[in-house]
Structure 1
Amino acid sequence: MLSSNDQKLEKLDPFHRPLLSKQKTSAEIINEARNALRSVRTQRPFTPREDQRKLFGPASSRTPENRPPSSFSLHASSFELADSRPISGTRLSPLELKPRAPASPTTEEDACPSLPKPPLDPVKIRRISGGRSRFYRAASQGTLLPDRSPAAAPSKTTEDSKETVSVENSAAKINGTYLTASNAIGHLKSHPPQRTYDQGFRETKEVSKEPSSHLRSGGDQGKRPARASSCPSSSDLSRLETRAASRASLQEQETEIEVDEVFWKTRIEPLLHELEKEDIEAVCATCSQLHHALEEGRMLGRKFQGRSVLLKTLYKLVDAGSDSLSLKLAKLILALKVSRKNLLNVCKLVFKISRSEENDVLLQNDNILESLLEVLRGEDLQSNTEAFLYCMGALKFISGSPAFLPEMIGKGAVEILTKLIRQTSEDTKKRGACLPNAGNLLVQTTATLRNLADSPLTRSRLLKVGAFPPLCTVMEQYMDDKDVCTNIARIFSKLTSYHDCCAALASYSRCYVLFLSLLNKYQKKQDLVIRIVFILGNLTAKNNQAREVFSRERGSIETLLTLFQNFYQLDQHPPRLGPSGASPAAEAEDVLVKLTRVLANVAIHPRIGPVLAADPRVVDLLLTTLESKSLGDCEELVINATAALNNLSFYQVKSSVLQHRKLYVAELLLKLLVSNNMDGILEAVRVFGNLSQDRDVCNFLMQKNVHKFMIALLEAKHQDICFAACGVLLNLTVDKDKRAILKEGGGIKKLVDCLREFGPGDWQLACLVCKTLWNFSENITSASLCFGDEDANRLLVLLSSFLDEELALDGSFDQDLRSYHRLHWETEFKPVAQQLLKRIQSHHTPLEPLPTPSF
């Protein structure tokens, strides 16, 4: 007799449910044990390395006449000898009021006007800022003439004579009287000036309301009525004190120039004579010494005497034609902060040297990288766009060598490139249009960033500076520029292969509509389409929100299906020549692989999956792929298509197209089972795990002896294959007349072996084995008759051991993995194993010996 508890246990149903039952289906049970919906992986699109180093490779969409040249000649005559500061783009308007000749002198002093002073030395003028230098030049030529003659001036002006202040060295001249800085300040404190400005050069004039007799030495004083003076303001005093300090600073600079002249004659001039030698190696060594000497004397930059002589000497050496010498010259010229045409030419010079891969060693030894990055960091983009283009082109070639990557990243190249991309985007937004020069520069910039993206350090820095939104913005602004879009797509295809970068891009919601727009615009451009589809596959692989946002975009699924149809036709009827020299059929097949992956990933979403399963276009495309392709010819495409069918077959809805064509799908999958490809077999078995919930499919599998194949797969020693095969056997044992199949080919023994081998490390698989054995032993009268003596005893020992928490969870796992195992052990394995153990114990003779299991 059975106890009341045993009788209740016997009334438990098998681990399945009819369609009208409230219990879980076997597919839901499998899904609880291991997620039946899987994201699909695929390889990143291959980008062949360009054999020749050019600004724009052979795959560029630019025609030769619409892009800057990659080959050119440079000579000493290409450089400008007069390398001064850049000229302002704004032309100054002429003076409205021109100076007039002075009237007849009214006093004895006026009868002897002072002669004009010679202009200052140009080198000294260059040391002063724009406004100060103009004031300085005006002062050096004497007193400015009044705007109007005394005869034409109004009566008030006649009474109030004007004072004109000129500066020479550290003294101030006020109406012919020279005052030192301190005297001038003291005088102006008691005679506060007024500032007026002309419209032309905007020279500063000091106008005092006091009579000029106060400043005359030995003149007729008191001829004009005196006027009361007002107190000076603090701002006026501050300005004058600042000018006095500036004059003092100018004297100090003149002292430094004298020291520099000594340094020039003793250290620089001998090196310049050494540069006249014909020995290239000796000249290269001298250039290095010259660079160190200039750096020691703090003479690098734009402001030092003799710079033009030095540059003239360096420019002549360009004609030597030596790459090693030209590289040292370029580094030195860049350190001298040349501008305009000379900056462009020196960037061209470095670009020309970097075009040869053999010169990579020279570029690394001379550390030209720092000089190029300094150009991008310090020069103005808008006025030096072409120079930036060739500078960035050289950096693109350098970044193609793995040896340069750590140094480039360490010197801040990622941040500089990101800032340049953001600045270009902002300038484009301000102009409201895309300039060709900006597009050419972006091609080089994004290609360089694409090379840097291979390093993990680059990924972390891009995340830190928030580079993904500006890259998307530039991609959107320059959507008509296929080269820019392709380079950015290559960057994203590399970065989204990593979870943190993928999550960062997925969080930028505008990226989905951007990618869809590009797919619709460039439907026939395989190199761009395949990368965008690969990016979408990465975004939808593990992010359910990304699947939701993407599918919600208007025309998202329609775009994928249109591309699938177009490239399927191209695959069936390929042209004679492929765009990249590869087989056109292979290129089209690669696109189909990525498209199938996106469909499989999107189908994981519980709202989108049923919609796709009910769409005849989606199902027909997948089935057509299986019909026309084989594992031997198109392995990845067939496996991805089968994985997509697995995800769609998970949804047991009446509108599902797969449910209506389930037998045809099962027949298509049979050819995968007889292949030698274990990945293809695994995907087919997973689909059978979903389809075998249907009785008709179960009968079909029995007729085709698929059940024997599933039992044989239990010996595969592969956890995923054993899991999938066990799921199919679980569904087959729902019918009582099919339970005997487990005894064919030693099915019970193989299930127990799976439990023993994989149980401690995979409690989901152990749970599935126990559920299958539970179904098999539903109407058990004797454990020995049901399982056999040996297998029954092994089950008793294994289940008793695995239900012991200390023994079952005593694994060398870290804390997170231990928590994961405990969760599946407590929620999945333990309830089923306890029921199965009680059933076996209640029908097992206690006198039978229990052998010790071997683990």
Structure 2
Amino acid sequence: MERKHEICSPFVPRRSPLRKTSAEIVSEARQSLRVQSTQRPFTPRDGHRQLFGKSSARADRDNRPPSTFSLHAQNFDAPDSRPGSGTRLSPLDHKPKFPVPCEAEDSFKAFPKPPTDPLEVKRGLARTRARLLRAGSLTMLPSVEGHTDVKERLNLGPGQKQPSAKRLPSTDHTVVPSGPHKAGPRRTASESRIMQPGDDSGVGPTECRVGWRTELGNGENTTSTEEEDAESLVWNNAIAPLLQQLESVAAGSSEGSVDRLCDLCDGLHGTLAEADMLGRRCKRRSGILRTLFRLIDLNSAQLNLHIGKLCLVLSVSGNNLLNICKLIFQISRSESNDILFQNNSIIDSLLGILSNEDVSTSGEALLYCVGTLKFLSGNSAILRLLLDKNCIGVAQKLIQRLCVAEDTNFTIAGHILVQLTATLRNLADHPDSRPLFISFSIVQELCLVLRRHRKDQDICTNISRIYSKLSSYSECRLALAQTPDCYQLFLELLSKHHQKQDLVVRLLFTLGNLTAKSDEARQQLFQCKGCMDTLLQLYDSYQLRDESPHTPSRKGPPSSSKPLAPPVSVQEHEDVLVKLVRVLANMCIHPAVGPALATNTTCIQLLMETLELRSVQGSEELLVNVAATINNLSFYQEESSVLRHSQLAIAKLMLKLVLSSSMDAMLEATRVFGNLSQSKDVRDFIMQNKVHQFVVTLLDSKSTEMCFSACGVLTNLALDPPNRVSLSLEGAAAKLVDCLKDFGPGDWQLAGQVCQALWNMIAGGSEKLLDTQERESLLEILVAYLGGREGHTDYHEHNTSTVTSGSCLNTKPVTEKYSK
């Protein structure tokens, strides 16, 4: 773990100094085991907004929904007036009464008679079918004026009275005349049904309408008639004029027509909301929709967004809902249109669709809806809006519904999850999103998605990106660590998608974060089935080796393992190994895991091979991580340790790091030498190759970490009397005194390590290596640190028994910890 610095100046001895126990010495020495850190993998921004990017692993490109398409008014269904619930109406209990005019001589004649010619029946059916088909055609719709001028629509004669608009049941299924033999105007379908009894009986239209109106008035439909009266009033006075203006402005070509049309759409929205006619409550909504659909052909992103919002609040369904979602998706594909979404409440409508629409019936519409949010979440301003509008909560509910819908439509659910996880990936970037990810249990929900879609590389990659972002924060790491079997799941994904570099590197980064601070996580990961086999197979796969015959041979992974094909990019190899070695370095901190890794021949050989194959200039971070891992493993000096029997070979490999220009590489190599120099062979190797000269030079560094590591090496080197003269010739004693003077008051650990090195250098009558001035200066510093000569003897005696024993690692101090 990282060494903690405490400010304690000057040093004051305890009143009853006690000798440290072996457990205290080992515990203090264990602090030399260090956690490695690394940067989060970089996710390049997708410049082309598409449902599935170029890196998508989906093979069925012909079957997946497209990102590019064209939409016109003719693509929409004009009526859209049938309720979307599909519920059948119950039959009426009463029998309808047909009005019979009193003037009729024979009441029997008032009822319609069937035609005698069977051919006439077929012709009548054909005409009816033709009228219905023509009524659904959007391109043959009449203008909006036809909906407001009732007299003109019915084409009443000069002697006939105009019917009351309040008493006519409203409908928008207008029958359009067709064919040369249809000379006269036709009534709407509902008007024809109302007028039919009177026409067939020979009664005038006015009298017939009076009878029908009387019949309605005497029944239970009085409230319904009053509502129709109110709706007709709003329609005639407010809505119809707005629709007329929309068509007239659309027919013109003025410069401000688009802005004017947008204002009219907003006015229409406000009027409908004020009259409580949004959703499907407006019986003439299909007339509004027809007008709006015709405006789509103007091809204005700003106007189409207003049209889309208005259509959504009118609760379009089926094909129209899909096309509106496609229309909004098409607008969101251009980054320049993001500003339009900021000034529009369309996001609320999109979130409403995600909350309410059924996956099985509106799956493709949901797909384009979530795709829109994915694009918009890349904008920082809209990202904030999405968080404020509870987008994460909506996503959590949608994930649960998608898991249920997978049983019936697994494919479309997978497509939607690709977009949804990509949206959550963008949301995870915002600091305020992290508490929401925890409170809505998104971390745990995504693990369930991983289990269900472990074969889908796109979904797995997106979720791995989410975890790589969130696992950098303690509360998110805790939530993930508490998810059952998450470690085993990650290992299975690493094994299954070993060739998917962007997935592998993010899962390894997440595992590195989990094992960085938690001893429990290190043990749980190591105890997972096939943990070391999976990690070492990945290591072997991504170990870039020269194909020449001079490549050093190494015993490979177990023969039962499947060969892993390496990726293409050299940088991708590098990034994977950096994250993987970091996981190994963090895992071996655990006292049960470390000894097991130290005895793993394949693991040690892979680490040594990396040191041999790579250069510091080209692979600095990787070699630093490898050196840190070896330093941690060198703590475990059991007889069965493979590293212990390879100390001299590792010391030779560390030379390239010590002699490099990288300060980080020099620091890690010095730490390794601090542990390995407990061996007499390694100490002789250091002196023979003049490494001690570089170590003494490091004492001039302004970095306390660098000085601390150098003091550890010098402490061990000074155990051999012949080495003390060589160190003194390099000025080691004088530089140690300077370190004690400069850094001692602020770092008791470094001060203790300097004292150990100085004691070993002057032990056994070698105090003459210090001149008079150096000795006086050292005594003044020690007296000042000890707070008087009374405690000096205790400190001297304690160090005599501990430093020369050589029973513990010398990369950490073994002196007594003094309090202020």
The normalised TM-score by structure 1 is 0.70
Report the 3-state secondary structure (helix = DSSP H, G, I; strand = E; otherwise coil) of the residue aligned with 2:35.
Answer: coil
The amino acid across from 1:637 in the alignment is L
- Judge conservation of contact 2:360–2:409 (CA < 8 Å) in 1: no
The amino acid across from 2:437 in the alignment is L
Residues 121 and 689 (structure 1), Cα distance of their counterparts in 2 relative to 1, 3 Å cut: farther
2:777 to 794, 801, 813: 794
**Partner of 1:646 in structure 2?**
631
Deviation of residue 260 (structure 1)? 4.1
**Partner of 2:350 in structure 1?**
372
- Judge conservation of contact 2:725–2:769 (CA < 8 Å) in 1: no
Task: Give structure 2 stretches of 5+ with no counterpart.
Answer: 1-16, 96-106, 112-166, 172-193, 195-214, 549-566, 803-820
- Judge conservation of contact 1:40–1:597 (CA < 8 Å) in 2: yes
Distance between the aligned counterparts of 1:121 and 1:481, measured in 2? Answer: 57
The amino acid across from 2:469 in the alignment is K
**Partner of 2:747 in structure 1?**
762
Residues 601 and 89 (structure 1), Cα distance of their counterparts in 2 relative to 1, 3 Å cut: farther
Deviation of residue 630 (structure 1)? 0.6
Deviation of residue 632 (structure 1)? 0.8
Matching of residues 279-294 of structure 1 within 5 Å: 279-294=257-272
Residues 91 and 366 (structure 1), Cα distance of their counterparts in 2 relative to 1, 3 Å cut: closer
Query: How well do the aligned residues superpose, as a CA RMSD in angstroms?
Result: 3.7
Count of aligned pairs: 650
- Judge conservation of contact 1:639–1:679 (CA < 8 Å) in 2: yes
Deviation of residue 65 (structure 1)? 0.7
Deviation of residue 32 (structure 1)? 1.8
Distance between the aligned counterparts of 1:713 and 1:486, measured in 2? Answer: 44
Distance between the aligned counterparts of 2:687 and 2:545, measured in 1? Answer: 40
Distance between the aligned counterparts of 2:680 and 2:347, measured in 1? Answer: 70
Instruction: Percent identity, please.
Output: 46
C-alpha distance after superposition, 1:408-437 (max 9, x if no partner): 111111111122112212443xx3x76100
Residues 572 and 455 (structure 1), Cα distance of their counterparts in 2 relative to 1, 3 Å cut: farther
Residues 78 and 23 (structure 1), Cα distance of their counterparts in 2 relative to 1, 3 Å cut: closer
Q: Kindly indicate whether residue 18 of structure 2 is the aligned counterpart of residue 35 of structure 1.
A: no
1:324 to 289, 297, 302: 302
The normalised TM-score by structure 2 is 0.73
Residues 639 and 434 (structure 1), Cα distance of their counterparts in 2 relative to 1, 3 Å cut: farther
**Partner of 1:216 in structure 2?**
none
1:465 to 429, 435, 440: 440
Q: Kindly indicate whether residue 699 of structure 2 is the aligned counterpart of residue 714 of structure 1.
A: yes
Q: Kindly indicate whether residue 70 of structure 2 is the aligned counterpart of residue 70 of structure 1.
A: no
Distance between the aligned counterparts of 1:607 and 1:836, measured in 2? Answer: 31
**Partner of 2:511 in structure 1?**
536
2:526 to 551, 556, 560: 551
Report the 3-state secondary structure (helix = DSSP H, G, I; strand = E; otherwise coil) of the residue aligned with 2:282.
Answer: coil
**Partner of 2:81 in structure 1?**
84
Distance between the aligned counterparts of 2:242 and 2:719, measured in 1? Answer: 95
Deviation of residue 314 (structure 1)? 0.7
Task: Give structure 1 stretches of 5+ with no counterpart.
Answer: 1-11, 16-21, 101-111, 125-139, 141-167, 174-246, 574-581, 806-825, 840-855
**Partner of 2:589 in structure 1?**
604
Residues 645 and 836 (structure 1), Cα distance of their counterparts in 2 relative to 1, 3 Å cut: closer
1:337 to 299, 303, 315: 315
C-alpha distance after superposition, 1:541-597 (max 9, x if no partner): 221111111111111100111111122257869xxxxxxxx9622222222222212
C-alpha distance after superposition, 1:163-198 (max 9, x if no partner): xxxxx989889xxxxxxxxxxxxxxxxxxxxxxxxx
Matching of residues 404-803 of structure 1 within 5 Å: 404-428=382-406, 431=407, 435-568=410-543, 584-779=569-764, 785=768, 787-803=770-786
**Partner of 1:274 in structure 2?**
245
Report the 3-state secondary structure (helix = DSSP H, G, I; strand = E; otherwise coil) of the residue aligned with 1:540.
Answer: helix
Report the 3-state secondary structure (helix = DSSP H, G, I; strand = E; otherwise coil) of the residue aligned with 2:654.
Answer: helix
- Judge conservation of contact 1:803–1:830 (CA < 8 Å) in 2: no
Distance between the aligned counterparts of 2:777 and 2:799, measured in 1? Answer: 13
Report the 3-state secondary structure (helix = DSSP H, G, I; strand = E; otherwise coil) of the residue aligned with 1:554.
Answer: coil
Deviation of residue 264 (structure 1)? 3.1
Distance between the aligned counterparts of 1:831 and 1:356, measured in 2? Answer: 76
Deviation of residue 89 (structure 1)? 6.5
- Judge conservation of contact 1:311–1:333 (CA < 8 Å) in 2: yes
C-alpha distance after superposition, 1:455-511 (max 9, x if no partner): 111111101111111101111101121111111111111111222212221221311
C-alpha distance after superposition, 1:120-141 (max 9, x if no partner): 98779xxxxxxxxxxxxxxx9x
- Judge conservation of contact 1:34–1:764 (CA < 8 Å) in 2: no
C-alpha distance after superposition, 1:99-128 (max 9, x if no partner): 99xxxxxxxxxxx99x99xxx98779xxxx
Residues 355 and 23 (structure 1), Cα distance of their counterparts in 2 relative to 1, 3 Å cut: closer
Distance between the aligned counterparts of 1:270 and 1:404, measured in 2? Answer: 35
Report the 3-state secondary structure (helix = DSSP H, G, I; strand = E; otherwise coil) of the residue aligned with 1:630.
Answer: coil
Deviation of residue 35 (structure 1)? 1.9
- Judge conservation of contact 2:359–2:405 (CA < 8 Å) in 1: no
- Judge conservation of contact 1:571–1:586 (CA < 8 Å) in 2: no
Deviation of residue 87 (structure 1)? 4.9
Give the stretch that moved more between structures: 785-794 or 676-685. Answer: 785-794
Report the 3-state secondary structure (helix = DSSP H, G, I; strand = E; otherwise coil) of the residue aligned with 1:711.
Answer: helix
Distance between the aligned counterparts of 1:478 and 1:434, measured in 2? Answer: 13
Residues 439 and 727 (structure 1), Cα distance of their counterparts in 2 relative to 1, 3 Å cut: same
Deviation of residue 345 (structure 1)? 0.9
Distance between the aligned counterparts of 1:467 and 1:585, measured in 2? Answer: 35
Distance between the aligned counterparts of 1:657 and 1:837, measured in 2? Answer: 33
1:304 to 282, 293, 296: 282
- Judge conservation of contact 1:462–1:468 (CA < 8 Å) in 2: yes
Deviation of residue 659 (structure 1)? 1.1
Distance between the aligned counterparts of 1:571 and 1:402, measured in 2? Answer: 45
Deviation of residue 445 (structure 1)? 0.3
Give the stretch that moved more between structures: 262-271 or 275-284. Answer: 262-271
- Judge conservation of contact 2:355–2:397 (CA < 8 Å) in 1: no
The amino acid across from 2:458 in the alignment is D
- Judge conservation of contact 1:708–1:744 (CA < 8 Å) in 2: no
Distance between the aligned counterparts of 1:385 and 1:544, measured in 2? Answer: 44
**Partner of 1:393 in structure 2?**
371
Distance between the aligned counterparts of 1:481 and 1:122, measured in 2? Answer: 54
**Partner of 1:44 in structure 2?**
40
**Partner of 2:817 in structure 1?**
none
- Judge conservation of contact 2:616–2:656 (CA < 8 Å) in 1: no
Residues 623 and 123 (structure 1), Cα distance of their counterparts in 2 relative to 1, 3 Å cut: farther
Deviation of residue 834 (structure 1)? 8.8
Matching of residues 183-262 of structure 1 within 5 Å: 251=223, 255=226, 257-262=228-233
Residues 518 and 838 (structure 1), Cα distance of their counterparts in 2 relative to 1, 3 Å cut: closer
Distance between the aligned counterparts of 1:830 and 1:585, measured in 2? Answer: 60
Deviation of residue 529 (structure 1)? 1.7
Residues 776 and 371 (structure 1), Cα distance of their counterparts in 2 relative to 1, 3 Å cut: same
Report the 3-state secondary structure (helix = DSSP H, G, I; strand = E; otherwise coil) of the residue aligned with 1:64.
Answer: coil
- Judge conservation of contact 2:522–2:590 (CA < 8 Å) in 1: yes
**Partner of 2:176 in structure 1?**
none
Report the 3-state secondary structure (helix = DSSP H, G, I; strand = E; otherwise coil) of the residue aligned with 1:523.
Answer: coil
Deviation of residue 735 (structure 1)? 2.9
Residues 414 and 800 (structure 1), Cα distance of their counterparts in 2 relative to 1, 3 Å cut: farther
The amino acid across from 2:580 in the alignment is L
Distance between the aligned counterparts of 1:33 and 1:750, measured in 2? Answer: 25
Residues 88 and 44 (structure 1), Cα distance of their counterparts in 2 relative to 1, 3 Å cut: same
Q: Structure with the greater relative contact order (CA < 8 A, sep ≥ 6): 1 or 2?
A: 2
Distance between the aligned counterparts of 2:458 and 2:288, measured in 1? Answer: 41
